[in-house]
Amino acid sequence: MADRTVIALGGNAISPAGTAGTAAEQTDNIWRTMRQVAALVEHGLTELILTHGNGPQVGNVLIKNELAKHVVPPVPLDWCVAQTQATIGFTIASTLSHELAVRGVTQPVVPVVSRVLVAADDPGFTAPSKPIGPYLTDADEVAEREAEGQHFARQGERGWRRVVASPEPLVSVDRAAVELLLDDGAIVVANGGGGIPVVTDGDGPLRGIEAVIDKDLAGARLAEELSAVSFVILTDVPAVAVGYGTSDQRWLGAVTVDELRGLQRDGHFSVGSMGPKVEAVCRFVERTGGRAAIASLDDAVAAAEGTAGTQVRVGR
């Protein structure tokens, strides 16, 4: 398994709905997954890039911003992305390094502070769509927050979540650093939380902009840029489902990218949950001819080996 692989961990998988989301809980969830990642490395998957989501985490930082705004100045959303990227990145590095050491593997794990270029005029800035933070179930509280200028979207029966701008990832700014680390034998954590969104004004320096890039789309972009042969998204469900949550629910196993696109066009995957993941794996397979998968966090090994979750290829 010496093929270059990008594995994306979902922010909701790190901090599942229904849990308190404490640092200890999130560390335990990351640690459980890193045991599987370490097993993959032990079996020969040495060219590995990890990325992760941060939806629940960045939403929690924004809440702290709001609660403390009369004491300390709040920081912009791109700073919140950077903070959660660093926190999750160092936790991944610490837990994975330990699990590798237990197995006698000395391969270093390096988190990279990662920026991703977006267009300043991306339509995502005028139509917030990326859900972040906890679910709210009180319609009056949602109305109060919307009156303060926040945006919310209903997320099925679980309630409402705040939504923010989510522009398209154009270029992984720090790809060269990732390449250098990979060439030197490191496992790299990059484009965490979709990457810190930056824009350019022409000849001036890159500057951060308030948004949260979808981590799956940014992961697919990075996998394409790095010429990865496989892209694996690990989340809190075992696979992609058609008719999710209904009596007709059906889990998808091996599918072609054309079949998955057809189901997407038929409206089976919602924007707030599985939609971006399906779009990300389709883009990767279409643009590279490689293999992609969407699977449960607990099935990391089998998903990377091609035997669990929804496995997406060009053809059968």
Please indicate whether residue 29 is annotated as part of the active site. no
**DSSP conformational letter for 298:** G
Among 215, 219, 272, 290, the one annotated catalytic: 215
CA–CA distance, 171 with 155 (Å, rounded to integer)? 30
Core vs surface per residue 108-127: b (16+ CB within 10 A) or e: ebbbbebbbbbeeebebbee
Among 12, 21, 65, 208, the one annotated catalytic: 12
Please indicate whether residue 69 is annotated as part of the active site. no
| Stated length of the chain | 316
Please indicate whether residue 215 is annotated as part of the active site. yes
Among 29, 60, 130, 133, the one annotated catalytic: 130
**DSSP conformational letter for 123:** G
Among 53, 272, 277, 309, the one annotated catalytic: 277
Residue pair 152/141 in contact (Cβ under 8 Å)? The answer is no
Please indicate whether residue 11 is annotated as part of the active site. yes
* Residue with token string 């090994």: 301
Pairing state of beta strands 5-9 and 48-52? Answer: parallel
Q: Which two tokens stand for residue 182?
A: 């990979």
Among 10, 11, 124, 192, the one annotated catalytic: 11
Residue pair 222/172 in contact (Cβ under 8 Å)? The answer is yes
Give CA separation, 296 vs 118, 229, 235, in Å: 29, 20, 5
By annotation, the residues acting in catalysis are 11-12, 130, 215, 277
